[in-house]
């Protein structure tokens, strides 16, 4: 009974794509760590790294990142070139920012801290035409060769600043200086806004008016936020109030039955199918993609965190036949459910 409750509660948890797993493992190996030992601490098998389509659970990613950070004593996971961020730096940055009165001052205080600490990586806050831009820059572009440093920092700061003011900071868009990568769909999952590539700077763009929003979090609420941070922030949903998240929540509640049609979803949310399609497109998503992602994330969590037979998992996820689930899962991850379970 306890297992069923745990699995039900974790069924809709997010997962992390293999690109970020490979990136942190590569940096750990470059720093002299035993890759297999890192994977072992996260309950992962080495064979999984050869499957670029695979995803791992949020729990596994948090374990992997935490182990590497603690072993190297570097919260940047060797992603910052010569820069190091000893374990506890993120905590200290949060302690400084939380005492600032507004979002603008909290951002400036955070940037001041990291710009002094790192040197090779620095942040800027600028504004233009009603938008504020939080950008990340590198004195040596080779530091960001796989772009993971950019992604991790922008995601982390966006999650943190949204938490500071106790409201999601809506992103107008995110810009990257590099061309669209093979894993570009992951950016849609992380940000839920338009993503522009081959731009002049790596930055988050959001309404300038939000800079005056007061900081509402306190030292008492910070301790809970810091549990598992900063590694767990890559797996936290970007916006609990987005239409994508609302639909995902509705679908998660009907996960073990036939999924509702788009018309039924529209009725549940008191809107129209046309409005849903338009808003989802703006969030870099679609109804079919949400259904596929939820099933994929749920399947991975079932396979990694339960002993349920694979045929039972298929039925719980609404597949009419186990063979249909096998084909879908292999399309998602490049591995069969059985192989994936053995490798995780």
The enclosing H or E element of 16 equals strand 15-17
Which of 48-62, 87-101, 237-251 shows the lowest per-residue confidence on average (mean pLDDT)?
237-251
Q: Is the pLDDT of residue 300 over 80?
A: yes
Q: Is the peptide bond prior to 253 cis by the omega test (within 30 degrees of 0)?
A: no
Give the residue-averaged pLDDT of 27-32.
92
DSSP code at position 1: -
Domain segments of the chain as ranges: 87-235, 240-343
pLDDT in tens, 37-47: 999 998 888 88
Three-state secondary structure of 105-168 = HHHHHHHHHHHHHHCCEEEEEEEECCEEEEEEEECCHHHHCCCHHHHHHHHHHHHHHHHHCCCC
Q: Could you name the CATH architecture of 240-343?
A: Orthogonal Bundle (1.10)
Instruction: For 235-250, write each residue's pLDDT tens digit.
Output: 555 566 678 878 887 8
- Choose between 10 and 245: higher pLDDT: 245
Lowest mean pLDDT across 94-103, 107-116, 126-135, 270-279: 270-279
The model carries a pTM of 0.74
Share of the chain above pLDDT 70, in %: 90
Strand order in the sheet with 131-138: 121-128, 131-138, 202-207, 173-175, 195-196
- Per-residue pLDDT, averaged over 186-210, amounts to 93
Question: What 3-state class would DSSP assign to 203?
Answer: strand
Residues 340 and 319: their CA atoms lie apart, in Å, by 18
Please determine, for residue 166, whether its predicted confidence score (pLDDT) is greater than 50: yes
Q: Is the pLDDT of residue 8 over 50?
A: no
> Higher model confidence: residue 80 or residue 93?
93
pLDDT at 95: 93
CB 336 within 8 A of CB 328: no
Closest-CA residue to 100 (of 160, 140, 55, 11): 160
**Residue 97 pLDDT > 90, yes or no?**
yes
Tell me the range of 16-30, 216-230, 319-333 where mean pLDDT is highest.
16-30
């Amino acid at each position: 009974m306890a297992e069923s409750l745990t699995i039900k509660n974790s069924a809709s948890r997010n997962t992390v794509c293999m690109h970020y797993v490979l990136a942190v493992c590569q940096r750990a190996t470059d720093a002299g760590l035993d890759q297999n030992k890192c994977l072992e601490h996260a309950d992962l098998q080495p064979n999984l790294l050869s499957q670029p389509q695979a995803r791992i659970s949020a729990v596994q990613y948090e374990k992997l990142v935490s182990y590497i950070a603690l072993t190297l004593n570097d919260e940047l996971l060797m992603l910052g070139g010569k820069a190091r961020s000893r374990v506890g730096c993120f905590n200290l940055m949060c302690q400084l920012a939380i005492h600032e009165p507004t979002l603008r001052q909290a951002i400036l205080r955070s940037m001041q801290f990291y710009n002094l600490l790192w040197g090779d990586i620095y942040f800027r806050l600028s504004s233009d035409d009603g938008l504020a831009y939080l950008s990340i820059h590198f004195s040596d572009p080779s530091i960001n060769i796989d772009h993971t440093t950019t992604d991790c920092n922008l995601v982390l700061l966006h999650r943190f600043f949204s938490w500071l003011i106790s409201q999601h900071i809506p992103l107008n868009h995110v810009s990257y200086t590099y061309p669209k990568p093979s894993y570009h769909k992951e950016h849609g999952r992380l940000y839920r806004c338009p993503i522009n590539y081959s731009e002049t700077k790596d930055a988050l763009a959001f309404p300038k008016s939000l800079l005056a929003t007061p900081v509402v979090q306190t030292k008492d609420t910070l301790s809970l936020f810091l549990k598992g941070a900063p590694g767990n922030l890559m797996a936290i949903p970007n916006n609990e109030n987005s239409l994508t998240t609302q639909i995902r929540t509705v679908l998660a509640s009907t996960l073990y039955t036939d999924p509702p049609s788009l018309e039924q979803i529209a009725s549940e949310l008191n809107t129209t199918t046309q409005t849903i399609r338009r808003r989802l497109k703006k969030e870099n998503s679609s109804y079919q993609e949400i259904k596929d992602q939820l099933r994929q994330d749920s399947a991975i969590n079932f396979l990694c965190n339960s002993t349920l037979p694979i045929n039972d998992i298929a039925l719980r996820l609404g597949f009419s036949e186990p063979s249909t689930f096998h084909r879908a899962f292999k399309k998602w991850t490049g591995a069969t459910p059985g192989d994936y379970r053995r490798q995780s």
